[in-house]
Amino acid sequence: MEKRWVATINLETLQVESDPSFKFKCLQCASCCMNLEIPLRDEDITRIEDLGFNAWEFVDYEKMFYRGDKFLGYGIRKRPFDDGCVFLEEDGKCKIYPKRPLACKLHPFILIKHGAVIEVYVKKDPFCKGVDHPEGERIDLNFVMKYFGEVISEYRQKMGIFNHPNRPANLAI
C-alpha cells in the first residue's frame, strides 16, 4: 500500500502542521464501501449492536486483522452478490452512518502515533477520487476534529490531557 504524509498533529498543543498542497473532499460515492476490507474494533461492534443488529449479521469471523502478532479485530461482513458492505443500501448510503466503524470514519487516512504526535498519511487508493479534489478542504484543526476527533480524544484522555487552552469547543473529552 502506497501512502503519502499529509499532516502532523501535536496531541498536547493541538497544533497541526500539514502539506499545503493537499486537499480532501468525501464525494460520498460509496467506492470505499465496495472496495475496502474494514476491521471492526470491539467498540465498533458494541456501537452497531446498540442499534439493534446482532453481531452475526455484520461480523465476518473468518476475516481477521493483525498488526504484527497483535490481533486487531474481525472484518465487517460483505454482501455475497456484489461484495459491498452489508450496511450499504441500494441508494448508496450507509445504513449506520452516524455509528459506522472507526476505520470507515478514517478512510482514506492512516494515523500513526509517536509519543505525543500523530502523523497523518493518506492512502493512494485509485478508487478514492476525493484525495486532492479541487474543491477539497485543507488539513487544519477543524478538519482534524471533523475526521479524527474520536481518535484525538481517546489519545488525549489516555495521556491525561483533559483541558488545554487550544481545545476546540467541539472537542468532547
Omega of the bond prior to 101 within 30 degrees of 0, cis? no
Dihedral pair phi/psi, residue 45, rounded to 5°? -60, -45
> What is the reported pLDDT for 164?
52
pTM summary value: 0.84
| Share of the chain residues as helix, strand and coil, in percent rounded to the nearest 5 | 25, 30, 45
Kindly report the average pLDDT of the chain as a whole number.
Answer: 92
Indicate whether 81 pLDDT > 80.
yes
